Amino acid sequence: MLEIKNLVKRYGKGAPVLKDLNLLVQGEQLMSIIGSSGAGKSTLLRCVNRLVEPTEGSITLNGTDITKLAAKDLRRARRRIGMVFQGFNLVDRLSVMENVQSGRLGYISTWAAITRRYPAADIERAFELMERVGIAQYADKRADELSGGERQRVGVVRALMQRPEILLADEPTASLDPKTSEQIMTLLRDLARELNLPVIINIHNVTEAKEFSDRIVGMRYGRIIFDDKPAALDAAQMDEIYAGTPSEDRQEIGAVA
């Protein structure tokens, strides 16, 4: 269970990107966050594993308050949070297996990491997951030899190698063509069910969000303005999320001007 309470993120002295945001993600569900660029979706996701440092508020994952952790404990907590990126973020010059095993870097010894002598159980698990997503035959290929969809599968397997308690996906399909994009979404949904894993996806494609999600959260200017089942998302709410400025923010902007 992930509980975000009164989360505020401000970059420098500017207006906050996240404004007193509350969110509760329970059990295994695939939740999509939609909203126009700059709404704060990426910042929200990155606050969860503290790639971005929250300014105020608390983020609790299964009893651990992530915002309070110091260096070593933070690394331990990050092992429990998998992340998939828009640009895949693989190390191009390493092999697929090395990229996949880098998901275990938080667990294995430095020596094992340098010499690439990974624990047998990790190798077995890697092959199982790679077979599951259909990239096992590429284990020894260099990551940059793969196509976009295959690279994102490597990214997903890397995150799953952590045996995460939650999976964050920051626009995982935005760099992919429509067909591959749908395959990756299907994969994420199926994996969420198979592994009983809650998944949070930032996504621009609303059609896909509605098709694959159990729940949709709509963000606008750092606030959650929609939070319901996909079926409840109608045209008026879409307008509110993507077009109009929410009335509260209109006043704030007026006050500044």
Partner 1 sequence: MTTDRAQDWARFTPAERLRRYLVMLAATVVVVWALSSIDVIWEWVWDAPIQLADLFARMVPPDPTNLPSILEATWQTINIATIATMLAILLSLPVAYISAQNTTPNRACLWIGRFILVSSRSVNTIIWALLFVAIFGPGIIAGIIAIMFRSIGFLGKLLGEAIEEIDHAPIEALEACGASRFKTVIYGIVPQVMPAFFAVSILRWDINLRESTVLGLVGAGGIGIILQGAIDTFQWQEVSMVLITILALVISGEVISSTLRKKLL
In the complex, minimum distance from the CB of residue 146 to partner 1, in angstroms, rounded to a whole number: 15
Residue count, binding to partner 1 (CB under 8 A): 30
DSSP H helical segments within 3-137, as ranges? 41-48, 71-79, 96-101, 110-115, 120-133
Contacts with 220 (C-beta within 8 Å, 6 or more apart), sequence order? 35, 36, 39, 240, 241, 245, 246, 249
Report the alpha-carbon distance of residue 150 to residue 138 in Å, rounded. Answer: 9
- Is 62 a binding residue for partner 1 by CB under 8 A? The answer is no
| 49-65 burial code (b ≥16 CB/10 A, e <16) | bbebebeebebbbeeee
Report the alpha-carbon distance of residue 68 to residue 65 in Å, rounded. Answer: 6
Taking CB under 8 A as the binding criterion, the range among 4-12, 22-30, 101-109, 119-127 that sits at the site for partner 1 is 101-109
Q: Which of 98, 150, 165, 171 binds partner 1 (CB under 8 A)?
A: 98
Residue placing its CB nearer to partner 1 in the complex, 89 or 207: 89
Q: Which of 63, 70, 93, 243 binds partner 1 (CB under 8 A)?
A: 93
Structure tokens at 124: 């077995």
- Is 166 a binding residue for partner 1 by CB under 8 A? The answer is no
Residue placing its CB nearer to partner 1 in the complex, 52 or 195: 52
In the complex, minimum distance from the CB of residue 190 to partner 1, in angstroms, rounded to a whole number: 23
Residue placing its CB nearer to partner 1 in the complex, 60 or 237: 60
| 235-253 burial code (b ≥16 CB/10 A, e <16) | eeeeebbeeeeeeebeeee
Question: Do the beta carbons of residue 65 and residue 74 sit within 8 Å?
Answer: no
Q: Is 223 left (phi over 0), alpha (psi -120 to 50) or beta?
A: beta
Residue placing its CB nearer to partner 1 in the complex, 51 or 174: 51
In the complex, minimum distance from the CB of residue 7 to partner 1, in angstroms, rounded to a whole number: 18
Using CB under 8 A as the criterion, what x/- string covers residues 22-61 for binding partner 1?
---------------------------x-x----------
- Is 89 a binding residue for partner 1 by CB under 8 A? The answer is yes
> Around Cβ 117, how many Cβ atoms within 10 Å?
12
Using CB under 8 A as the criterion, what x/- string covers residues 126-165 for binding partner 1?
-----------------------------x--xx--x---
Which parts of this chain interact with partner 1 (CB under 8 A)?
Answer: 49, 51, 75-79, 81, 83, 85, 87, 89-94, 98, 102-106, 110, 113-114, 155, 158-159, 162
